[in-house]
Amino acid sequence: MKIRCPKCKSDAELSPDFSLVKCGSCDLEMSYGEYVKFVAHNESRYSDILGDYATSTEGQTSGSLDEWD
């Protein structure tokens, strides 16, 4: 399965069992877990999505947290 290499932005190959990410263009080779961390670290947009998600989750539960205000 082709995914985007976080290092050189070329096509990297994700092994069918999701265990290994390999890029032929820059010799990147890491586990999928490391890949996810790497991408999360390097793509601020990804972090923003997580931030928005956390905010909206807080909004849904704010009614029970009024006593903390």
Output the smallest distance, CB 49 to Zn ion, in A.
23
Tell me how long the chain is.
69
Output the smallest distance, CB 48 to Zn ion, in A.
24
Give the pairing of strands 29-31 and 2-4.
Answer: unpaired
Output the smallest distance, CB 46 to Zn ion, in A.
18
Q: CA-CA distance, 61 to 64, in Å (whole number)?
A: 6
5 near Zn ion, judged by CB under 5 A: yes
Q: CA-CA distance, 40 to 34, in Å (whole number)?
A: 10
Q: CA-CA distance, 29 to 6, in Å (whole number)?
A: 11
Mask: binding to Zn ion, 10-29, rule CB under 5 A, as x and -? Answer: x------------x-xx-x-
- Which residues would be at the binding site for Zn ion (CB under 5 A)? 5, 7-8, 10, 23, 25-26, 28
